[in-house]
Structure 1
Amino acid sequence: MSRSQPRNLIRDAIIDRLSARADVDAHPCERRAGPTKYIAAFVNKRGTAFAVDLMSASKQPIWFLDRPELRSKLEAAGVDYELYPPKRGRNSNLHKIPGFKHGALIRAYPEDVDSAMRIVDML
């Protein structure tokens, strides 16, 4: 049984801002596999994939592949994040994004829409 998407105005504003950005597109997996109600996958013009967690009612998690320089940037910006090593479980909807099923991931927690856009700019 699937859960309904919780109300989250900040998350919705993040999705709206991402959809309006010229340097961000829906990830090709969204067109191939179709969108899910659990994540929204995107790719920037540099080819970096990321996903916004759609099921969080309080936080606005953004998932992306782990790289040491991204951890450093997040720390310098004061952004909270969690590391997801390859063996750690994760939302199965992330599996449609190449590399996200078995790769090391970062789950970053922006405080607001502007913080989320700064995270996307880091990618």
Structure 2
Amino acid sequence: MKKVLFVALSFLLFAAPSFAEYTNYTVLNSTPGTVDLVLEGPFCEQHFLGEIQPSELRQDNVTRGICMLARIDGAIHMDNGVVVPLKYRSAGTTYGQFIVVAKQEDGKWNGKIMPFDDLDGFPDPRSNLNN
């Protein structure tokens, strides 16, 4: 019985992840500034997505494999020189698609990174540029 349990656990730990890769990181910048992000997880390679332009939907060209995302650090760079810090934290998530949002209140900008794992259902922001 112990041998069967050992074989089953070995399969789950070593074989299962080989067919369970997560989607590449994808970011939609819905802010008026340019976004730079560093995405990382424990025991995983850092991913850098830089100079994401306003209304741009950018997908990382490097696969993430079975990496659970734990943190995103970055910034929104506004045209007037204002830099808005960005931070996302998780104990470890499979989310791979994110939206960066920003708003200005009383002359001060605030930004946020929000998970959104259904960007396929999200309208292309460039379609609203001429409205």
TM-score by length of 2: 0.25
Structure richer in strand, relative to its length: 2
Larger Rg: 2
